[in-house]
Amino acid sequence: MMVTPAPLTAPKKLEIEEIAAAVRDRFGPAVLVSRGQGGVVLSVSLFEPTTHPPISKMLFWDMGCSFGGIVVEELKGKWRLSYLFLSAGCGWVEVLVEAPSTVSALPSISSEVHAADWHEREAEDLFGLRFEGHPRLGDFILHDQMWPEGVAPHRKLHRELIDVHQEHFRRRPNSEWRPLLVVQDPGAFAMPVGPIYEGGLGQSVHFLLETVGEDVVRAVPRLFYNFRAVEKIAEEQPVSRVLLLAERFAATSSFAHSLAFCLAVERISSTQVPARAKNLRILLSELERLRHHAGAITGICESTALSVATSQAAIIEERLLRACCQFTGHRYLFGLNTPGGLRRDFSAESCTELLKAIDRAVADLHALEDGLYFTSSFLDRLEDVGIVDPDKARDLNFVGPVGRASACSGDLRRDCPYEGYETYQFEVPREIEGDGYARLRILFQEAYQSARLVQQATHRLEPGQISAPCEPLSGGVALGWAEAPIGPALHWLRLDASGLVERYRVMTASFNNWLGFRVAVEDFAFQDFPIILATFGLSPTECDR
Partner 1 sequence: MSFWFWRGLQKGVQTTRYPRAYENAAGVTPGRPVATQFSSAHEAALAAQVCPVGAITPQDNSARVNLALCIHCQRCHFGDEPVMEWRSDYEWTRLPDTQQRYEPLPKAYKRSLHIIVVDAGDCGACLHEVKQLNTPFYNMHRLGMFFTATPRAADLLVVVGPVSENMRVPLLKTYEAMPNPKKVLAVGTCAISGGIFGQSFVSAGGVSSILPVDLEIPGDPAPPLAILHGLLVVTGRKAPVGHESASERSS
Based on the shown chain and the rule CB under 8 A, indicate whether residue 6 belongs to the binding site for partner 1. Answer: no
Separation CA 435–CA 383 (nearest Å): 6
Q: How many CA atoms lie within 13 A of 328 on its CB side?
A: 22
Q: How far is the CB of 240 from partner 1 (least distance, A)?
A: 6
Q: Which stretch binds partner 1 (CB under 8 A): 65-73, 75-83, 225-233, 412-420?
A: 225-233
Question: Would you say 221 and 210 are in contact if contact means Cβ atoms under 8 Å apart?
Answer: no
Based on the shown chain and the rule CB under 8 A, indicate whether residue 179 belongs to the binding site for partner 1. Answer: no
Distances 499 to 13, 363, 364 between C-alpha atoms, Å:
38, 47, 47
Based on the shown chain and the rule CB under 8 A, indicate whether residue 216 belongs to the binding site for partner 1. Answer: no
Quick one: which of 130, 232, 360, 460 contacts partner 1 (CB under 8 A)? 232
- CB neighbour burial string for 34-61, b if at least 16 within 10 angstroms, e if fewer: eebebbbbbbbebeebebbbebbebbbe
Distances 329 to 271, 326, 343 between C-alpha atoms, Å:
27, 6, 12
Based on the shown chain and the rule CB under 8 A, indicate whether residue 203 belongs to the binding site for partner 1. Answer: yes
Quick one: which of 82, 226, 303, 445 contacts partner 1 (CB under 8 A)? 226
Span 271-330, contacts to partner 1 by CB under 8 A: 295, 306, 308-309, 311-312, 314-315, 317-318, 321-326, 329-330
Q: Which stretch binds partner 1 (CB under 8 A): 14-22, 87-95, 189-197, 501-509?
A: 189-197
Residues touching partner 1: how many (CB under 8 A)?
Answer: 75
Based on the shown chain and the rule CB under 8 A, indicate whether residue 539 belongs to the binding site for partner 1. Answer: yes
Among 47, 42, 50, 53, CA closest to 20 = 42
Span 53-92, contacts to partner 1 by CB under 8 A: none
Output 75 or 196, the one with its CB closest to partner 1.
Answer: 196
Output 105 or 161, the one with its CB closest to partner 1.
Answer: 161
Handedness of CA 234, 236, 237, 243 (dihedral sign): positive
Output 147 or 426, the one with its CB closest to partner 1.
Answer: 147
Q: 1 in helix, strand or coil?
A: coil
Q: How far is the CB of 200 from partner 1 (least distance, A)?
A: 3
Q: How far is the CB of 484 from partner 1 (least distance, A)?
A: 13
Output 140 or 524, the one with its CB closest to partner 1.
Answer: 140
Quick one: which of 251, 355, 461, 468 contacts partner 1 (CB under 8 A)? 251
Q: 79 in helix, strand or coil?
A: strand
Span 507-526, contacts to partner 1 by CB under 8 A: none
Quick one: which of 196, 348, 363, 497 contacts partner 1 (CB under 8 A)? 196
Give every CB contact of residue 55 below 8 A, 6+ residues apart in sequence.
Answer: 23, 27, 31, 44, 46, 95
Q: Which stretch binds partner 1 (CB under 8 A): 27-35, 229-237, 421-429, 483-491?
A: 229-237
Span 139-168, contacts to partner 1 by CB under 8 A: 143, 146, 153, 161-164, 166
Contact letters (x/-) for partner 1, 439-478, by CB under 8 A?
----------------------------------------
Quick one: which of 24, 130, 218, 331 contacts partner 1 (CB under 8 A)? 331
Based on the shown chain and the rule CB under 8 A, indicate whether residue 233 belongs to the binding site for partner 1. Answer: yes
Span 358-417, contacts to partner 1 by CB under 8 A: 367, 371, 374-377
Based on the shown chain and the rule CB under 8 A, indicate whether residue 240 belongs to the binding site for partner 1. Answer: yes
Beta carbons within 10 angstroms of residue 176's beta carbon: 6
Q: How far is the CB of 259 from partner 1 (least distance, A)?
A: 16
Quick one: which of 130, 228, 414, 460 contacts partner 1 (CB under 8 A)? 228
- The DSSP symbol for 527 reads G
Separation CA 147–CA 136 (nearest Å): 17
Query: Which residue type is seen at 46?
Result: L
Q: Which stretch binds partner 1 (CB under 8 A): 49-57, 86-94, 251-259, 403-411?
A: 251-259
Separation CA 492–CA 456 (nearest Å): 30
The 3 state secondary structure assigned to 505-525 is: EEECHHHHHHHHHHHHHCCCE
The H or E element that residue 314 is part of is helix 307-328
Angle among Cα 433, 436, 440 to the nearest 5 degrees reads 100
